[in-house]
Structure formats: C-alpha cells, structure tokens
Chain A
Amino acid sequence: MADLLFYTFAFLTLASAVLVVVNKNAVNAAMFLLLSLVGVAGLFVLLDAALLAFVLLLVYAGAVVTLFLFIVMLLDTTPGAMKPFKAPTIAASALGLALLLLGVLSLQQRAQLAAGPAGGLVNVTLKTYAEQLFTTYLLPVQVVGFLLLIAMLGVIVLSKKFAPAESGAGSQDKGGTA
C-alpha cells in the first residue's frame, strides 16, 4: 500500500515537474509547480512528516505560487509567444542533465547507506518540533527571523521608485531600447 502510494506521488511529482519545464505558458507552469508540490507534500506524509507537508502546502502553494501567479499577471508577458527551443540549447541542456544524473547516480550507487535504527521512529509531534526549535536551534530561529526582516526591507527598497536616480538613467534607457 505504502509502496503504491510512494510510486503514485513520485510519478505525480516528477511528471508535473517535467511539465513545469516544457510548458509554453508561464501560468500553466506555475499550476504544474503547484501539482508537483502537492506530490511532494504527499511524500512528506509518507515520511511521517505530516507537519512539514502542511507547512509546505501553506508556504509554497499558499504564498509562493500565488506570488508567482501575481507576478506573471503583473508582467503581462504575452503567453504563447515563446520561441521554440534552439537545437544547441536543447543539446547543451541535455548534456548538462546527463552529466548531473551520471554524477549523482554513481555517487548513490556507491554510497554505503547504513540501515539505520530499525523502527527508530521519533515521536513527531508539534511539541517535539517546538522543543527542538526553542532549545537546540534557538540561534538559527533568531537568525532566520532577522533574515526575514532583512528580506522584507530589501523587497520594499527594490520595489520603491527612486525618482531622482531614474530620471537620468531611465530616460537614457528608454532612448536605447525604444
């Protein structure tokens, strides 16, 4: 049963990941990314990390993919106007893919993976997560919180228009590209 579920979720994840890559339309690509994330969330549930599955769906499906869709709408890149892939691009990408797969698979074939503690199942509840986060990983939690603050400030600065700086460079740019 668990094997069947694993293969189902694995197929869902990989197939929609491939569709993200080859899809001509950015909106459809975002939707397939969502489907792929649902597959990964299912795998997390199979791996006894139901909490992480929820967080993945909330953060990625709820926030990240929505943000992607907003940006796709905002940028108004004409869908369907994608040029077909050039042959050298496809060849180079396939070569890169093959090299990466070769490296990773050879590493994995030779890896000495110990069986691990048999049935060594930690009691994965919200409480154990909280205990870890607020004792062992207290400093990383603080650092990540600070990083979120910095990211927020960075986004505000990036999306703010600086009128005097753009008046000179911006007009030159318009002349160059128009």
Chain B
Amino acid sequence: MSHLLNPESLPPVSLLATAFASGLNHYLLLSALLFAVGFFGVLLRKNTLVIYMCLELMLIASTVALVAFSRFNGTLDGNVFVFFILTIAAAEVAVGLAIIVALFRRRHTVQVEELNHLKH
C-alpha cells in the first residue's frame, strides 16, 4: 500500500513504450487537421454557438500539439502549459457565452448574418 502513497518509489509508467512508432509527426498532422476542421467550421457556419464550438476545437488542436511536443521532448513544460490553456479556455467560454446571451437578449438572434447592425 505504501508504494501507492509514494509515487517516487514507482518506476515511470508508460502506457506506450512502443508509441514512438506513431511518432511526433503523426500527432502534429492530427493537430493540424483538427485545427483545419475547426477553422473550416468557423468560416462555414452562421450560428454563433456552433462557431464558438469550432473555436474550441481549434484550441483543443493546439493542446494536442503541445502535449505531443512535450512528450517527445521528455519535458513537462508543454503539459503545464496545457493546464493554463484549459483554465483560460474555461474562462473564455464563460465570458463568450455570456456575451452571446446578452446579444440574444438584445437582437433575438444568434445568426451572424442578421447581426449586421454595424454595417448600416
């Protein structure tokens, strides 16, 4: 039982001693594709809420790249940075959704096409 309480007595556990086979490039490619899908969604969709979800996808894609870099460099800094990104993302979502709700209260729509009052 004592070895559970003292993590230093454990050897470093890796779920993937073989994971270098699917190396850093694969993860970076996945991250780029995920970012691109999110970007496509931001450009394509008209619903503010879905645009916001796509923004979250882009943020997540960047965290995948950071964790992969951190893992394949053998450091912890990328992982700690992802902690901060997650915190900021939570704050950002709260504020952004509050803005969307305030906007809906004013304009009664969340479609970006109809939110064009700065144009006229």
Report the minimum CB–CB distance from A30 to chain B (whole Å).
7
B interface footprint on A44-62 (CB within 8 Å = 1, 0 otherwise): 1111111110011001100
Partner of B84, one of A68, A90, A121, A140: A140
**Does residue A2 face the partner (Cβ distance < 8 Å to B)?**
yes
Taking CB atoms, residues of chain B closer than 8 Å to A128 are 76
Question: Once bound together, how far apart are the Cα atoms of A158 and B94, in whole Å?
Answer: 11
The answer to whether A64 touches B89 (Cβ under 8 A) is yes
CB proximity to B under 8 Å, residues A102-121: 104-105, 108, 113, 116-117, 120-121
Could you tell me which residues of chain A, from 1 to 40, have a CB within 8 Å of some CB in chain B? Answer: 1-3, 6-7, 10, 13-14, 17-18, 20-21, 23, 26, 29-30, 33, 36-37, 40
CB–CB B41/A21 < 8 A: yes
> Whole-angstrom distance between the alpha carbons of A121 and B74 in the complex?
5
Q: Name the 3 nearest CB pairs between A and B, nearest first.
A: A120-B74, A151-B91, A21-B41
B43 contacts A92, C-beta separation under 8 Å: yes
> Total interface residues on A, using CB and 8 Å?
88
Contacts known (A43-B30, A64-B90, A122-B74); A48 close to B15, Cβ less than 8 A: yes
Q: Are B53 and A52 in contact (CB under 8 A)?
A: no
Once the chains bind, are A26 and B87 in contact (CB under 8 Å)?
Answer: no
Q: Residues of A at under 8 Å CB distance from B?
A: 1-3, 6-7, 10, 13-14, 17-18, 20-21, 23, 26, 29-30, 33, 36-37, 40, 43-52, 55-56, 59-60, 63-64, 67-68, 71-72, 74-75, 77, 82-83, 85, 89-90, 92-94, 96-97, 100-101, 104-105, 108, 113, 116-117, 120-129, 132-133, 136-137, 140, 144, 147-148, 151-152, 154-155, 158-159, 170, 173, 177
Determine if B88 and A144 form an interchain contact, defined as CB atoms under 8 angstroms apart. Answer: yes
* Inter-chain contacts of B60 with A (CB < 8 A): 36-37, 40, 56, 60
Q: Contact partner of B67 among A17, A47, A82, A108, CB < 8 A?
A: A47
Query: Which residue in A18, A23, A72, A148 is a CB contact (below 8 Å) of B37?
Result: A18
